[in-house]
Amino acid sequence: MRKNLKIPRLGLVLIAATLFYGISFAQTPNLDAKLNEQIVSVPLGSGIFAVELETTIFKPPGDGPFPLLIMNHGKAPGNAHFQERARYFAISREFVTRGYAVVIPMRKGFSKSTGAYVDGGCNIGGNGQAQADDVQGVLEYVVKQGWVDRERILVAGQSHGGLTTMAFGTRNFAGVKGLINFAGGLRKENCQWELSLVDAFGDFGAKTKLPSLWFYGENDSYFNPELANKMYAAYTKSGANAKLIAYGPFKNDAHSMSGSRDGVKIWWPETEQFLKKLGLPTEVLMQVGNVPQHPRTDFASIDNVDAIPYVKETGRAGYRNFLGRSMPRAFAISASGAWGWGNEGDEPSVRAMSNCQKNSQLPCKLYAVDDYVVWKE
């Protein structure tokens, strides 16, 4: 029997306060026209428990109906409302070019979604099921849209979203053909979270009828190979149909593999075979263009921290941090002294510019991309 989470009275107060004050949707986001990106608010619940979930949609051209990928996001440290809207651009791109619509809901309390994030302490299985409630609510809403093929649905997730995906799999939702787990799990503090995590996956595996594909890397900073193997063994103990791909090390941290365009060559071949077995499409139907290129300049070498104009010491410290990040990456600055960086995904330059512009009334410009400087005087 599923362990339902009990929300303490303080949690109800926080939910009510969040609903009363609301979350601002005023800031204009960057949307990718090539993938027909849009943001919608999906209503869930009623009365004081009514929430609206900020949901990103990518679609191919046309009216559909399209096979559907639901992609579930992870959880960054800190306040969930401060977490950026998830786009999983590398994954979304691969599926949209093959004719899928991709829907990425921000669950309660995350980013601009209203409501409060329900933690659940060390009850990791209960946490996963609470998150899966949001996924089910979004899916029930989305399958009513005319552009969705309700008989061809795939659900995937990364990190906390992977845990959410595997919890959702226990619902055996009509039309869902399979699950993909990218480094799924949840770390906690001040408790034996590893045991709770393994128990959660064991419970999920005993209740699902859906096949699943798992990806865990050797140098995952959250879930090492030993723990991943324990989760997999617990999940399959009751006969659940799953395949674990232990793909070895990936850059500085395998936990971010699914968010990197360099990770596509790891997960797509196995995913392609998985989709074929499920009777889901794999052929490329459209092209969306190349990632934009930025010309190199001779302003300075990439590692010359002192050459960066405008920024103060905090900005130079941020640039040193940027230099330690994996590629693709970009760093942006403004004459106001603001700065920002982004890495991984298809368009880190867009995120770098956005992060810089959040703190500047003057326009930001790119200073460096990957391993070279693009700044012009």
Global pTM value: 0.80
3-state secondary structure (DSSP) of residue 22: coil
Average confidence (pLDDT) over 328-352? 89
Angle between helices 124-142 and 160-168 (to 10 degrees): 70
State the Cα–Cα distance between residues 277 and 264, nearest whole angstrom. 19
Q: At 262, is the pLDDT very low, low, confident or very high (cuts 50, 70, 90)?
A: confident
Domains of the chain: 9-278 (3.40.50.1820), 305-373 (no CATH)
Q: What is the pLDDT of residue 333?
A: 97
Q: What is the pLDDT of residue 208?
A: 96
Q: What is the pLDDT of residue 289?
A: 64
Q: What percent of the chain has pLDDT over 70?
A: 90
Residue 33 class from Cβ within 10 Å (0-12 exposed, 13-18 middle, 19+ buried)?
A: exposed
Structure letter (DSSP) for residue 87:
-
Q: What is the pLDDT of residue 30?
A: 66
Alpha helices in the chain (DSSP H): 9-21, 89-96, 124-142, 160-168, 193-207, 225-236, 264-278, 313-323, 348-357
State the Cα–Cα distance between residues 19 and 13, nearest whole angstrom. 10
Express each pLDDT in 113-145 by its tens digit. Answer: 999 998 888 999 999 999 999 999 999 999 999
Q: Render the burial of 220-245: b for 16+ CB within 10 Å, e for the rest.
A: bebbebebbebbbebbbeeebebebb
Q: What percent of the chain has pLDDT over 90?
A: 74
Q: Could you tell me which residue, 287 or 73, shows the higher pLDDT?
A: 73
Average confidence (pLDDT) over 167-180? 97
Residue 4 has pLDDT above 60, yes or no: no
Q: At 291, is the pLDDT very low, low, confident or very high (cuts 50, 70, 90)?
A: low
State the Cα–Cα distance between residues 253 and 158, nearest whole angstrom. 14
Q: What is the pLDDT of residue 25?
A: 35
H or E element at residue 40 = strand 38-44
The alpha carbons of the chain give a radius of gyration, in whole angstroms, of: 21
Residue 377 has pLDDT above 80, yes or no: no
Average confidence (pLDDT) over 154-178? 98
